[in-house]
Amino acid sequence: MSLFKKRETRIFITSDTHFCHTNIMKYTNRPMSWEDIVIGNWNKTISNNDTVIHVGDFSFGGIDNVKKYLNKLNGNKILVRGNHDGYTNLAYMKAGFIFSCDEFVYGNTLFTHEPVFIKIKGISVNIHGHIHNIDVQKTIDKHKCMRYTNVCIDLNNLTPVRFI
């Protein structure tokens, strides 16, 4: 089974949308209407043929909110669960994600919610979220075990970014 439905599918990545998290503006620089902005940016960027890998912390407020927001967003969605994604992988797939897991590897890239600071054979890139306002690559040069890419939506103008 391929997670990417068609060969011409574009793949995007993002994290930490935190839909229904009323306090997220205390921790980030999001504007008052941030949920509408995220949904609008997502749908302007993502077509229904595209796939979005969301590396954690999708939504607060229960599995019904997960379904509600998934239905508002274009594309096929994959979830790498974050520390605020408390349901089972199966529950997230029943809610509408085409796949859900705790981490996965694609080529030489490890997708996780939090950055992984260990050397893993064959892995040279860690795509992660979790840290909302910090570009991890610039702060952890001492580790030098892999390249880090923080795809938190707060670092990317509240918009998913292109992977492939």
- In tens, the pLDDT along 26-58 reads 888 899 999 999 999 999 999 999 999 999 999
- Number of helical H runs and strand E runs in the chain: 5, 9
121-144 in b/e burial notation, b at 16+ Cβ within 10 A? eebeebbbbbbbeeebeeeeeeee
- In tens, the pLDDT along 63-88 reads 999 999 999 999 999 999 999 999 99
Looking at residue 7, what is its pLDDT? Answer: 58
* pTM for this model (two decimals): 0.89
Domain ranges in the chain are 11-162
How would residue 10 be classed by pLDDT, with cut points 50, 70 and 90?
very high
For the domain covering 11-162, report its CATH number.
3.60.21.10
